[in-house]
Chains A and B, each alone.
Chain A
Amino acid sequence: MMASSYSAKDEDGHITVTGPGGAALRSKKPENTAFKQQRLPAWQPILTAGTVLPAFFIIGLIFIPIGIGLFVTSNNIREFEIDYTGVDESSPCFNCSQNFSWNSTQPCTCSIPFSLEQSYENNVFMYYGLSNFYQNHRRYVKSRDDSQLNGHLGSLKQPSKECEPYAKHENKPIAPCGAIANSMFNDTLELFYNDPNGTKVLIPLRATGIAWWTDKHVKFGNPGDGLNLTAEFQGTTKPVNWRKPVYELDSDPLNNGFINEDFIVWMRTAALPTFRKLYRIISRKDNMVPTLLRGNYTLEVVYNYPVRSFEGRKRMILSTISWMGGKNPFLGIAYITVGSVCFFLGVVLLIIHHKYGNRNNSADISN
């Protein structure tokens, strides 16, 4: 039957076959619903010049301003970075890096002078950066016991085997276990302002508020009530590389044990082999004076952390932030580029469409 001959009668007529006994036999006629007959009402968009080209222009027009905004913001952020690995012989930390040994009791210190060309307003954030450090290696990433870190007593005494080979030491469970904890960054960085009059002023660094709230309050937790950590951690041993046990990381009980923020920050493993982690915050004291004045500074490093064996680098970064976070030129440039490309594509497609694209309208559809 032809499409044309489907009459309204055909659509609606519902046939009921009546059996000899008068009982109506079930008609197998399919139901006439839009769903079953695949006639659901639908929006049928098609790609035409009228819809695609404006989209490109709009994307361009939106992206370019965003990009410029991001770029400017990013450029206004002050950032200072200093590498203190001590690879060069001239570097003040060269000696420390050469003579490193895990067992040395005498900490090696070195101080690196630097100067800031501009003053830093608002809060200044101090980061340490590591390069060529594979915190994202699979075996490294999984070498932790979240249950233990959350304060479960069972896991404290019986660390998960994921922590191997840092699960037990001399038959005592390690707390915190695993390679991540074991390799915790333990350099101490101190910042001094060299007053033009010759005195070195220690700049106060805030060690709290550097970890995510959720990490500190949900993910990490000390075993027991957390009041007497020494007792709680009884029967465990410190990680092999550590100098002091986990319950001696800080004197403040709210920043000690598993909820020590330096520890938490370290345990949040970086995505890429070059990364930076927040170390300290230099809070602004009052609105009149910049947080860090323009001038000379000294970075004093207690050099504990060995990276030269695997060609790693250590850095100290000082940075201010803006509404979009830290200095990040990538996003701004990317937005400007993508916006321009879209705009340009829009123009090119418009030209192509006008020159060649009229074949659509010819209704030469065969049969």
Chain B
Amino acid sequence: MAFWRRNTLVERERHVKANARDYNDKFSYTDNHIKTSKYNILTFLPLNLFEQLQRVANAYFIVLLILQLIPAISSLSWFTTIVPLLLVLLITAVKDATDDYFRHKNDKQVNNRQSQVLIRGSLQNEKWMNVRVGDIIKLENNQFVAADILLLCSSEPNGLCYIETAELDGETNLKVRQALTVTSDLGDVSKLVDFDGEVVCEPPNNKLDKFIGTLCWRDSKYPLDNDRMLLRGCVLRNTECCFGMVIFAGLQTKLMQNCGITKFKRTSIDKLMNTLVLWIFAFLICMGVILAIGNTIWESRIGRRFQVFLPWTEFQSSAVFSGFLTFWSYIINLNTVVPISLYVSVEVLRLGHSYFINWDKRMYHGPTNTAAVARTTTLNEELGQVQFIFSDKTGTLTQNIMVFSKCSINGQTYGDIYDEFDQKMENTEGTACVDFSFNPLCDRRFKFYDSSLVDAVKLEDPAMQEFFRLLALCHTVMPEEKTEGHLVYQAQSPDEAALVTAARNFGFVFRARTPETITLCEMGQAVAYQLLAILDFNNVRKRMSVIVRNPQGQIKLYSKGADTVIFDRLDPSSEDLMYTTSEHLSEFGGEGLRTLALAYKDLDEKEFEVWMEKLQFAGTVIENREDRLAVLYEEIEQGLKGATAIEDKLQEGVPETITCLNLADIKIWVLTGDKLETAMNIGYSCNMLRDDMNEVFVMSGHTLLEVQQQLRSAKEHILGLSRVGSAGDVEKSDMFADSVFEETIIAEYALVINGHSLAHALEPQLEHVLLDLACLCKTVICCRVTPMQKAQVVELVKRHKRAVTLAIGDGANDVSMIKTAHIGVGISGQEGMQAALASDYSFAQFRYLRRLLLVHGRWSYFRMCHFLCYFFYKNFAFTLVHFWYGFFCGFSAQTVYDQWFITLFNIVYTSLPVLAMGLFDQDVNDHISLRHPSLYRPGQQNLLFNKRQFFLCTLQGVCTSFLLFFIPYGAFSVMVREDGSHFSDQQAFSVTIATSLVIVVSVQIGLDTHYWTAVNHFFIWGSLTLYFVILFALQSNGMFGIFPSHFPFVGTARNCLSEKSVWLVILLTTVVCVVPGLVVSFLRIDLFPTPTDKVRHQLQSRKRQRPQEQNLRQSRRTSSRRSAYAFSHQQGYGELITSGKNMRTSRVSTARSAQRTQHSSNWIENVLKRKNEVSCISDESTEAPEKSDRT
């Protein structure tokens, strides 16, 4: 990585010469090898160790270990530190190694893909990684493009080729690329070998839609732009093969440049933990200093004179120096306030939580056989704190699969399923689908559940026939019939394909087209229509028509388009029909289906000819040609008769999920590469945009000023309105929309912003305005955004809002966003795996996000917080006893406990119960968490573990340690045994305190556990038993016999724990330590119950009653409907078809009119020109919507 970065710094301009490896080698461009892995076998150990030691905690323990090896200050044996430390390092290293192994594997797989490269005059198979800049490579249909290449020529006429850019920007429709005219006839290998053009172009960058360069060949220069480029990650479609010259390779390709750098993600709790560790460290030093000063004073006052019995050594020659040494000894003694086992335990917990995610069968998607996968194990608890979700649209919210699901023909709806009682049924998997076997040409994947429609078609009802005929004729789909009866449709938008496929299955099979004819197979009979004109779609017209002459010689106009547009043009005679249809449309729209209206009209010959002439005239006029055409199109489409059709399809459960997440106070922003209309439409269908919203702001400015203007006015609008609302504090609420103010906005707003405006709005001077405005709005939709912009938006929120962000997407275009956000979620299974591989979590359906956040995230956060609180409590209680003891042992760093107890306390005696709590605890079960999304909020507000909570639990720990020390102290100062022998010795004292401590922390964990599974019981009771077993074992005669100097406590446990008074002390200590905490938590629950407490209480009080399932399903929008056609279609194909340019099979007849040829010759320019055009939003027909339920 470092290598190419250095290279790009100097690279101002790129010179690439085709077929000249020697020449290109001079510049040492990177080859096509990609590497995303971090280590190799040799570098793993040093690099990984180095990385791990950069963690504050690990470094701290290393320092401790070194201290412990110095005999003069070592107050504890070295094994108390090194065993746990090695364990930590080992576990982490193994985890890192596995992660990297998979990255290696993935890299290797990509690098070893085959491509055909022109080397020394012939095509040879080469691995991707061996492709170099300047090589000419051959691509075949459906292959991934291996690098960023300049298209030289293709098998298609005019050097055209089609690509799908789903991996780059998420759009699945086909895009056209055309080679330069001069190179487009280099069609075969022999000519390409001699090609020696030199490309001079921009250096590598991440702009996907921009390329500037020139080709110098045969002494002339040709400008190059993005339309000559095929970028890595695209897939070649509909094109047999093409040749191109590699311009950027490997990591310098635009795709790779768009992949943000992999950063190690840490959770906010991680960061907080590191801060707290530093604080604790400071606290430790403070205590060390206090005790060291104490030691100095003690040594100079008492110790100096106590030298009769305890002389100073050469190490400890003065009181001050003794204090200095004591400081270090105490640092060692008290180091357990930051236990190493904390880090091990946290890792284990996270791993466990990740497994629970992997094991969740409710996040398993049967049809694609994908289970949810937690790819990183470090982020789980952050899932419980998400405040912003950035979602991709295509493939994430939508399935990107369109299915014909309902229709209304001549006032009659089809598509609903009824049971025998005429009740509408939910569509489940058991429902039998319609048998299309009568039709040999049907598409077997097509499913339809309402058999009445098929019956109606079979009855040859003319309206029915016209309906499907229209669907079969009026489109720009290209058919491909490889073998007889095996039809494949190539459509530029999935909904067109869906419609044509529907018609095909209902017996109106679209089989072939030439520039002038369309061949259908109507109920088994081949029928050829003469195609007279295609009145193409554009964003203003929002409809498309064809004029055909049927075999009977009648001229018919078929039209489909947005309902509003079609209804306006309907013949008054069909008004009744229009009303019924309109009702049906609203119904369909309410179910989240995309709708479309169809109409047809008979034309008479004369009328058509007049119109045709006008059209031809208009076509010759250069100025305002488009406007004139539009007028003409308008003219002929007047007065139609109607019928309608519809289609679908969101991912399952999207609106419910979004509603639910909204209730949990999570803001969802949609960032999509799609068009504004599409995005808004999806916004409506998944309940993000609603008709009852106060205002939907659309930002579509082209300049910085315009955007600024729009943003400001929108903001003023919101603030202004709410000022009126809260008249009292007009003065206070000025332009600074602080967070308090945000809360007071009751009205609901939505912001829709397109890519151009976003680019301006993300400039430093506007980003604050944008952010403020966006946060005032309930919904934010950004469309036409590039992958990098997605990441920028995420970054913006991350930087300024201090909120946890989650990005979810499915395509390669989402990778940078996924990597930037705190948490990246990939939808796996549909498109490529790029997003899933870059993500932290992946699953098959958007709706699982709800479970991931509200159940797993919430639990993880809850568990982790309780775990940390308890852990800090436990270790403070454990360690600070040494501090108090310091005042009674001459500040000599004498430990209270046996060193075996110190070694084992954290890793054996108390680790399992707290791990069990951290793994299994649940305050409420998953159903309840899903039913009450508001229970998610404590996580967002960081309530369960923050600095305050930390203080409280350490305070509890300090108090406990105080009591743990002073109650035995009080008892032991005069205690004797039942047999009269003295008893106030240090070892008995130690065993008593240790036993009390173990019992106190066990009782405390019992009180902190909300969910006592068998495992919890086993671990808690087991740990207590284990403590006593180990205690007696370590203090047994046998152990002492083997290592007398390591087990000096022999017999203490026996002598000590057989005393009644010791047990009385332990009982007293336990009760006194636990009661205050109990009182506080009881009062908190009783007087200030959190929502969780209330829910738990409620559940408790009606335990017997099985909680009835509450249906959260929000009632769908009932009113406004949206027209699919208005957005899913791209302009320009009509001309392409009529021109015949793209038709390989049928050569355009020479008899074609010259005029038409000329007309069509500049279609590409038109396409390209219009493509960048910013479309304006379709004004939705919102006919007085009923107030839909607000939540």
Contact = CB atoms under 8 A, between A and B. Distances in A.
Interface stretch (B361-369, B615-623, B771-779): B361-369
A275 B1040 CA distance: 27
A265 interface: yes
A1 B1078 CA distance: 40
Given A27-B369, A47-B1082, A47-B1085, A134 B1091 contact: no
Contacts of A323: 978, 1060
A44 interface: yes
A331 interface: yes
B1083 interface: yes
A44 B974 contact: no
B361 A269 contact: no
B1088 to A, nearest CB: 8
B1094 A134 contact: no
A306 B1012 contact: no
Contact of B989 (A41, A213, A271): A271
B889 A136 contact: yes
Interface in A323-367: 323-328, 330-331, 334-335, 338, 342, 345, 349, 352-353, 356-357, 359-367
Interface in B307-345: 308-311, 313, 316, 329
A325 B983 CA distance: 9
Contacts of A25: 369
A365 B932 contact: yes
Given A3-B931, A218-B1037, A125 B980 contact: yes
B986 A269 contact: yes
B978 A29 contact: no
Given A3-B930, A132-B302, A345-B1079, A306 B308 contact: yes
A281 B979 CA distance: 10
Interface in B980-1026: 980-990, 1007, 1010-1016
B131 interface: no
A285 interface: no
B975 A325 contact: yes
A4 interface: yes
A40 B1014 contact: yes
B1030 interface: no
B1061 A15 contact: no
Interface stretch (B114-122, B275-283, B963-971): B963-971
Interface string A10-49: 0001010100000001011111100011111111111111
A70 B847 CA distance: 65
Contacts of A327: 974
Given A30-B371, A328-B971, A214 B1083 contact: no
A192 interface: no
A325 B977 contact: yes
A160 interface: yes
B969 A272 contact: yes
Interface string A262-291: 000100111111111110010000000000
A140 B309 CA distance: 9
B1082 A349 contact: yes
B740 to A, nearest CB: 20
A37 B1051 contact: no
A147 interface: yes
A215 interface: yes
B356 interface: yes
Interface in A209-230: 210-215, 218-219
A363 B1091 CA distance: 10
B1097 A331 contact: no
A142 to B, nearest CB: 9
Interface stretch (B256-264, B571-579, B868-876, B1042-1050): B1042-1050
B329 A310 contact: no
A39 B1014 CA distance: 12
Contact of B970 (A36, A141, A146, A334): A334
Interface stretch (B50-58, B721-729, B756-764, B1068-1076): B1068-1076
Given A327-B974, A365-B1091, A6 B362 contact: yes
Interface string A132-154: 11111111110101110010100
Contacts of B1051: 212-215, 218-219
Contacts of A174: none
B832 interface: no
Given A146-B1044, A321-B980, A323-B978, A268 B987 contact: yes
B986 A136 contact: yes
B1055 A212 contact: yes
Given A36-B356, A37-B359, A140-B310, A366 B978 contact: no
A278 B1040 contact: no
Contacts of A70: 1064
Contact of A52 (B859, B986, B1010, B1082): B1082
B894 interface: yes
B1098 A363 contact: yes
A325 B1063 CA distance: 13
B360 A219 contact: no
Nearest to A17: B369
Contacts of A362: 1094
A95 interface: no
B981 A211 contact: yes
Contact of B308 (A28, A47, A141, A310): A310
Interface stretch (B235-243, B499-507, B814-822, B1106-1114): B1106-1114
Contacts of A357: 1086-1087
A331 B974 contact: no
A323 B948 CA distance: 47
B764 to A, nearest CB: 39
A264 B497 CA distance: 97
B629 interface: no
A2 interface: yes
A272 B1096 CA distance: 48
B1111 to A, nearest CB: 5
A250 interface: no
A274 B1100 CA distance: 54
B892 A137 contact: yes
Contacts of A4: 1109-1113
A42 B921 CA distance: 10
Contacts of A325: 975-978, 983, 1059, 1061
Contact of A137 (B890, B1079, B1110): B890
A29 B370 CA distance: 7
24 contacts: A1-B656, A4-B1111, A29-B366, A30-B360, A36-B359, A41-B1014, A44-B1096, A47-B1078, A59-B1075, A66-B1064, A133-B309, A138-B75, A138-B329, A140-B310, A183-B308, A214-B1050, A271-B986, A271-B990, A278-B976, A281-B980, A306-B308, A310-B305, A326-B976, A363-B1098
4 cross-chain pairs, A with B, having the tightest CB-CB distances, nearest first? A214-B1051, A326-B976, A271-B989, A183-B309
Given A136-B986, A271-B986, A367-B1191, 9 more contacts: A3-B927, A30-B364, A36-B361, A47-B1007, A138-B892, A219-B1048, A353-B1086, A364-B1094, A365-B1091
Interface of A: 1-4, 6, 13, 15, 17, 25, 27-32, 36-49, 52, 55-56, 59, 63, 66, 70, 123, 125, 127, 132-141, 143, 145-147, 150, 152, 160, 164-165, 179, 182-183, 210-215, 218-219, 265, 268-278, 281, 306, 309-311, 319, 321, 323-328, 330-331, 334-335, 338, 342, 345, 349, 352-353, 356-357, 359-367
